[in-house]
Chains A and B, each alone.
Chain A
Amino acid sequence: MLQIKYFKCGYGKKFYISDITFGVDKGGFTGIIGPNGSGKTTLFRGITGELPTEEGAVIINGHNIKDLTLKEKARKMAVVTQEFENVDVTVEDFVLMGRFPYQSPFQFFETKEDYGIAHKYLELTDMYRLKDKYMYQLSGGERQLAAIARALSQEPELLLLDEPTSSLDITHKMQVLNLIQHLNSEMKLTVLMIIHDLNLASEYCDNLIMINNGKIHVTGKPEDVLNYKTIEEVYNTVVITKTNPLSNKPVVLLVSGKVLDEHKT
């Protein structure tokens, strides 16, 4: 579905990521993890095509993204980032914007089909009841749900998410991530997500890609990637890893400096 081969991109000589090679299968749920400044967002922007490919290729369903027009790209991949913006647009109009890639440039009004699709995903994300509210009236969690509904209206093959939950409390974090999980397992939507929280990454993703200093450090299943050794190498932080008794996925526990000192002595 998505193949990234020997990929290099970045901001001139200042910072770049290189030698990135991995694949995401159709219906896969892959997380990108790594410390701040490791190149997660650079990789993300390389995949969306905002940063030009310098070497290698990003291939989505057999098409090199370099060869796709912006519109074609918008039909294949939908992007959800953190919605900070207080936009003066109703939720319904916001979600309808996901239909832009399917409209001709001079189509002045949305079709019935556009509304049908937008409403379908408003229902699915449980946002239909809020469709007449303005985006700025929503809470952070609702805004993320609206952004996902908009992304779904693009009817993409690949859903790209950049830290969709980092500013939310645990209720809304779980609500958003459970929705994404549902889309992934029920609708076979392929998901690639940058996520800071290692425990959530472990719990939700089938595969993890750990990035450090602009290179892939390690990839694999959560239980292979998230052990105390790798985490200490990459994050320079002492952690304890255990297994979640319900999901059997690794959990990462942090230890305060004071406790660590007490244990050393």
Chain B
Amino acid sequence: MTTTKNAGDIVSGYKYGWHDPEFKPVNAPRKGLDREVVTQISELKGEPQWMRDFRLRALDIFESKPMPTGFWGGNIEGYPLDFQDIYYYVKPMEGQGKTWEDVPEEIKRTFDKLGIPEAERKFLAGVGAQYDSEVVYHKIREDLEKLGVVFLDMDGGLREHEDIVKQYFGTIVPPADNKFAALNSAVWSGGSFVYVPAGVKVDIPLQAYFRINTENMGQFERTLIIAEPGSYVHYVEGCTAPTYSNDSLHSAVVEIIVKKGARVRYTTIQNWSTNVYNLVTKRAAAYQDAVMEWVDGNLGSKLTMKYPSVFLMEPGAHGEILSLAFAGPGQHQDAGGKVVHVAPNTTSTIVSKSISKGGGRTSYRGLLKVYPGAKNVKSTVRCDALLLDADSRSDTYPVMEIDEEQVTIQHEATVSKVGEEQLFYLQSRGIDETEATKMIVNGFVEPIVKELPMEYAIELNRLIELQMEGSVG
């Protein structure tokens, strides 16, 4: 294996910080962002004119918008993020692998090391694997394909299902939504396009895996999921990156449409290295009796700003956001969720659990909005923060805009230190302090972990354990 290890990772416990020095992109990437770069991306992809225009309009919006200084992620100003020091498009290979053998060896071995082909064989209905700017491998189980389920990379989706993409793209998260949504709209590449026909239930998860290899990389995946009436799909994404001394940027946009009686679950296990800015906009619209669930685990990155949202558009719709954040030394997890009750008789639950250690910082930022006339709305918000030491920090910024009186809203927030009494209790039963702390943390996140399929629950517990070990040394 000719991958290179990073000394800092050995201390922090991050297991994915190596990079492949032999990798050579097939294009000639240059740093910086301008109209030429945006046009080149569109040309290289052979896109229709309307998409090129969409990108260029988005670029104008990006350039005209100031860095976010408002409530939603008001803290990025303090970070030295230089948009001209980033590669916006690094093309890893020509075409795309239909089998892993089609994928160039130096790229394939990265995914082997990450265990993706193995997971695909064991428990997945389909896999997409993105390396820098493009999806290098994509496959869905044949029986699902026959049922009409589409699982492609976003570029493939645009080529093969242009009418659907044109109908929905940018309607849930318009470019003008925020500066980073505009950036993604201008330079997006890769991501997933998922279409589930009416009544089709995809019983095991589809997974996308995002890997950054190049230093100073910007990864701008774009995902669109459409669940037709009565369908079900569980989409899972994972991600890692090498540890470099220079920063990388990951700025995704995810749009989901959950139609009448459909259910979509979107699970993220975010494990970027601690030099990655993770600035993501994720939003779903749920229609009559539909269910949208976000399970959002954030363990990695330098700074994450991400608030998965659900718009409950029609009666009977239900939104659920489970957010788990772990911030270690030098990390800030600014996470949370937004629920907007547009229609009456809609329900929602937000559960946020955050852990800070070694000077790490977590913030819960949440919005609960109820439109006038949205009667009989029921919503429960619960956020719990756990601090592992006195240097760490946790803040809660819940916003409620309730413009209707006939509603039932519950909100509960707790901040606790790993309690002396809890530690004493476990220690009095012979368990040492390190083990006791692990047990308390695992118990704390249990309400979220138990929602994950077993394989991911094991993975998440393992990642938390690694982070905990990093804090002991």
Is B truly associated with A? no
Interface on A for B, CB 8 Å cutoff? none
